[in-house]
Amino acid sequence: MCGRYASARKKHELLEEFQVEQDAAPDEELQPDYNVAPTKRVYAVLSRVPKEPERRSSGGESEERANESRSGRDHRSDRAVRQLRVMRWGLVPAWAKDPSIGSRMINARLETVAEKPAFKRAFASRRCLLPADGYFEWMPVEGEKKKKQPFYIHPEDDGVLAMAGLYEFWKDPTRADDDPLKWLVTCTVITTQAEDDLGRIHDRMPMMIERERWAEWLDPKLTDTEQASRLLVPADTGRLVAYPVSTDVNSVRNNGPHLIEPQQPEEEGSLF
């Protein structure tokens, strides 16, 4: 699974890196976060065909999900616009009775994402990229049943990770239609089997989307799930590097760049 990651790049850097055309949350800028955990607000890059009128709250929620179900896609302008939005990590399906299910929907397995009821509709048309600097995984310490050593895994060239994600709109039935919090926008990270070297730490890893596939992956007109699945190609072996970090990252209360500084593992020499 992918349950923690680091995302410290500033908004203007992400707008430029992902060639974003529209900042969909102009009044909100997230602080650098070196310990992103489920239910936190995160940046997501996506492409959507603009609809008018479109009402958004300061957090980026909108009535787009309802507009889709009532009238279908607006064909007056069919060019999708690449946006940067702020969402909550932990996908809440549109059919959920309440948002608590989101805490259990932080990851979607590549092997079943096109079939699971919670994810299959989003996989068909609501795909996104979740920018990250790196992510954390925990490896059991040899001889210590309850101890695990955290590792920070990131691109060797320190470039941005574009994690494959899905997003969904959830309508809160307890709120009035004119309540800006009526719509909750949430997301999940797609995971795959870890490459050989990283598999020694954990058998799963986030699925990365290479830059040349960003546009096709984000295209909302691509609704063929088989074609979308073909875009999910594991990262090249050796592109990512890993090193042990402080167990401070175990607590979501801790944050800061010290969480990604290399540390000596608790049982040096026994990990590999």
Residues recognised as catalytic: 2, 137
Among residues 239, 264, 234, the alpha carbon closest in space to that of 134 is found at 239
Could you please report the per-residue DSSP string of 148-183? EEEEEEEETT---EEEEEEEEEEE-TTS-TT-TTSE
Contacts of 13 (CB under 8 A, 6+ apart): none
CA gap 53, 209 in Å, rounded: 32
Alpha-carbon distances of 199 from 76, 143, 153, 202, 238, rounded to whole Å: 48, 19, 12, 5, 12
SS3 at position 43: strand
Sign of the torsion formed by the C-alpha atoms of 240, 252, 30 and 191: positive
Alpha-carbon distances of 157 from 135, 220, 238, 260, rounded to whole Å: 15, 30, 11, 15
Among residues 167, 184, 142, 192, the alpha carbon closest in space to that of 1 is found at 192
Q: Quick one: which H or E segment has residue 109?
A: strand 107-109
Backbone angles phi, psi at 13, to 5 degrees: -70, -40
